[in-house]
Structure 1
Amino acid sequence: MFVLLIPSSAPEILQCSIARHATDEMLAIDLSIFREKTAIEDDSDSPMNEDERRNYYLIDLLGRNVACHLLNVVNQYCHRWHQDMPILYKSSFEMETYSKAIRNRRKKMEDKHTIVNQFNTLYGLKDTPSLSFYGVYDGHGGTDASSYAFVHLHTIMAHSLCSKDNIQEALIESFEKTDEQFGIKSKQENLHSGTTAVATIVTADKLYISWLGDSQVILSRGGKAVVLMNPHKPEREDEKARIEALGGCVVWFGAWRVNGTLSVSRAIGDADYKPYVSGTPDTNEVNLDGNEDFILLACDGLWDVLTPDETVEIITNYLNEADGKKENVPELIVEKAVDKGSSDNISVIVSF
């Protein structure tokens, strides 16, 4: 729902509020009214089991009709609120956040990124401290996996937060469920793509991180880079041992690769390389004391050419200039990466 409203120029609090109200209205409807009589064709090499066929049936029969009704509901709220705007309540904690994403010299843009500062409003979380969510997804082999994570991961995480008190556990569960559900979709639709993922939850005094692959997040504190994670690369001794114990291999082919192909050892998707490419993320938790400068998330299109120290130095020097503006930082750092020779897709989120 929220994804449908992102292209609009409306303030995020308005987008999230409309999405919440429209979703609640849709959930109150008996969705069976949207079903049609349609035959289910299963031409895959591996026949679907009963649960998979049921999921396929719901998606095939309900999807288009539900989507049309959903858009009508959103339009009704937009018209109604344009005439009589209700009082909207923003989260008590909100960061100043900017982003930039470019295709660069690649034929396709396979990156996706998510920014939800009004997370509590979007998901109706009344008993949870105010939090913001940021995610960067670097797809490979197509856009199916990154697009799926972009739409679903933070929603799955919101549901996990409702049943778990521990945010790190909720992050792990959301990554694993996203990978599992995309795996079902991949089997049904013969998809082979995958995506790295790095996601953060930020509260007033905590930073929670979860990741798969080599997209990374760093923290700047006092003008110095704080490295928060160790990317999942096949050459990591623990990752290499895990892959080999499962019967896979790590070989050099221009870079260290899983079974000679993938240059990351954990990801959402990559159905052809499970279980060697794991969908279970690592996590970290960092205390925030108010002396932080910014948090930066980016894919390897940035990190392949700039170190965390270089990135923080570039941004700090720019902001110390008389005309240095925070909203220009993502574009600045993307331009620096291109100047340093990056040809890959680049996506950057910076939160102050």
Structure 2
Amino acid sequence: MTTISHGVGESPRPESSAVPGLLVGTAAATTPGVRVRDLTVVYRTPLGELPALGGVSLTIEPGTITGIVGESGSGKSTLALSLLNAVQPPGRIAGGSVEIDGLGDVVDLAGDRLRRARGRHLGYVFQAAQNSLNPLKTIGKQLLDLGRSHDVDDLPALVRDAKSLLERMGLDGARVLDSHQHELSGGMRQRVGIMLALVLNARLVILDEPTTALDMITQATILRIVREIHQERGLTTLMVTHDMGVAAEVTDRLAVMYGGRVVEHGPTMEVLGSPRHPYTRGLIQAIPRLSGDITQSRALPGRPPTLGTVPKRGCVFQERCPLRMEVCETVEPPSVIENGRTVACHAAEAARPAERRKEHA
């Protein structure tokens, strides 16, 4: 994959020329930022309520594409669902806030106010697109249901916008709207999910593993569509992925999660080029190689923690960390911000003064 050189650690990308079916021009003025503060999500289990997110704090700048990476069970999808206040029982948001420009604290929204926020302000593209589509209704009928539920006055205009979006993504809009989900391929269903997330002009779009189970050609098409529509509509985008290559291809900033914590966050190319947290380094070293010395690719030792095995004290990564120190077993590392990078690691913090001395020697 090729990486994007522009946008990493920079201000939001400039608007491009207008494309039929896409809203541009004034979009940037309404592009929202997101501030997650001390967010805690717990799940009820036979052992009691156990944390899936443990005091997560994260800032998503307006107009950026932010990637969330980590192994399965790290809390990526739980964080994404929390932005919609959509964590379902036996889970619940136990503390913290999710402030979104133009909406306020989403955690405080409920009932009709929350329903209207979803779709109108917040768009979500699910990991398995077929699971979010009704197999008994055509895509067109589901689109009309969506419009009616949000009191859209001009349903024919909504259909025209949906067709334009689908055609913008390389599909026959009329045929797709006339089809049931089983009549569409995986890549087509994923594009339908993107259309449904955007057709009500949402400004914050969350994509949960949008390229999972897709072939390489379709994956490249979906990533191109994500980049183009993000830029042309002036969106703020959050992409959940386990694929470092996908993150490098499309995101501006990258947050690495482990055990329900954000352990590193910063501009994508800086995080991938000079990772500061040992978990981030481990993820990068585990990427399979197709050329060069393939023995340099090494799997992370051990297994990621489950709800019941997350350490109750100290660093969540302590059991798998090659740099573990005594303090890691008892004290949770604070998130230290420096030069636009955030890292939560005792070893990284201990090494920082030595790095400074070397720079000034």
Q: Which category of TM-score, normalised to the shorter sequence, fits these structures?
A: under 0.3
With CA pairs under 8 Å and 6+ residues apart, which has the higher RCO, 1 or 2? Answer: 2
Q: So what's the TM-score if we normalise by structure 2?
A: 0.26
